[in-house]
Structure formats: structure tokens, C-alpha cells
Amino acid sequence: MGYSRMAKCAKIKIKKEKAVFEICNLKFKNILDIEALTIDRPITCIIGSSGSGKTTLLKHLNKLYTPDSGAITYNGSDLAEIPAVSLRREVVMLGQTPVIYNGDLEENLQIGLRFSEKLPASRDRLLNALEQVKLNKPLDDPCLSLSGGEKQRLCLARVMLMDAEVYLLDEPSAALDKETERFIITNLADFVTREKKALIMVTHSEEVSGLYPEGTIRIENGRTGGYAHE
């Protein structure tokens, strides 16, 4: 990227305590065209109509997609220079479709830690994670018979165990009723705030984005003007 384009973005950069992601002149196919975006609040909700590019943006933050042009930095380092495996130890993503493996709840909870070469969690931590997502099932219960919402909650518990710095969640409450949604999202938000981590979630739920008006970013036709309350 030319120096002048970076300088232009630097000028409009908003100084905050900790900039998590900064995006500058990102173009991707005809889907995203983001001139400048800083994502630096503890809780960020990405909203916008279907097909507007929300998931595509989230995938860029996890290096599942690479911009055609432009740059993304994570805490000041160019994402292009960070190996995907290292990034994903700190920045974990939960996609729209819950992925459940053969086996019981315990195996499904531990597998995220195993994939990222972290130590297994104790039984107490596993039970606590299930409590956080309101899933009252024994650890040795098989998973394949869980309902859609239960599978989604199990996957949420799995990522919460990862002790990441940033959680990227794509419609984490899509399969949940309103009461469970509120319980789980506020629990998650309390957890990331308490632990000084960041939560970036794509959501269609006005109940969820309504809880965090200052953290809401609207994206339409692949473009965004940043946080609604700058």
C-alpha cells in the first residue's frame, strides 16, 4: 500500500487505549470496500442487512480471507505478517454453523484447547463453562442428540474455554430463545469486560445490539462508517 494512503488512514485514526483491529482501504471482491475502520471497544456488534458483508468482514479478522488490497492490523501488527496459527491462538472465531464432533460433552469442550495446543481444562472449568451457557447436561452425555440451540451453546462454551484475547462470534444467539439469548450474551459480555478481552459479534438480533449501542457498527453494501456513537 502506498504511503499516502496509509497516512490518510493514520490521520483519521481515533486514539483509544487499545486499538484491537484497524482496517485501511480494504477491498475484497465486490463485497467489501472499507476506507477506514477501527474496532477497539470491549463489545462490538456488527449489524446490517443479509448479504451486506458482515461474515466476510469477520473472516478477514481471523485470516480466513485475505484482502484483495488494503491492510488490517491487529494491535499494531500487520495481519499479513502474523502466521494464521499464531493469530488464531489469540483471536478465536465461532462460525454460524456449530461444529460438533463424535463423543461426549467433555470431549467436545476440550477439543478447541487441543487444536490450539493448549493444556486441557479441569473438570471444574468445564462445568463452569457449561453453566455460563446455561447447558445443564452431564459431561459424559453424547453430543449428537443435542438440539440446535444446545449445540450452539456447547460451541460457545468451547470458545470461552480458549482463553483468547478476542472472540469473533458469527450470530452466536441465532438458535436461542430471547431469554436464553440475553442470559448468555450478557454473561459473555461480563466475562470479556472482566478479563479485559474483546468480543466482536455479528448479530441480527436487535435485542443484542440494543444492549450495546455504543459498540454497534452498521455495514451496508460492504461499507461502513464505523461505530454508531463516535
Ligand X SMILES: Nc1ncnc2c1ncn2[C@@H]1O[C@H](COP(=O)(O)OP(=O)(O)OP(=O)(O)O)[C@@H](O)[C@H]1O
User: Smallest distance, Å, CB 199 to ligand X?
Assistant: 17
By CB under 6 A, name the binding residues for ligand X.
29, 31, 48, 50-56
Q: Torsion over CA of 108, 97, 218 and 63, rounded to 10 degrees?
A: 70
Nearer to ligand X, 49 or 77 (CB): 49
User: Smallest distance, Å, CB 67 to ligand X?
Assistant: 12
Nearer to ligand X, 61 or 121 (CB): 61
For residues 165-177, b (16+ Cβ closer than 10 Å) or e, as one string? bbbbbbbbbbbbe
Nearer to ligand X, 174 or 211 (CB): 174
Nearer to ligand X, 77 or 97 (CB): 97
Q: How many CB atoms lie within 10 A of CB 161?
A: 21
Q: What share of the chain is helix, strand, coil (3-state, %, to 5)?
A: 40, 25, 40
Query: What DSSP state is assigned to residue 214?
Result: G
Rounded CA separation 53/47 (Å) = 10
User: Smallest distance, Å, CB 218 to ligand X?
Assistant: 11
Nearer to ligand X, 132 or 227 (CB): 227
User: Smallest distance, Å, CB 112 to ligand X?
Assistant: 23
User: Smallest distance, Å, CB 55 to ligand X?
Assistant: 3
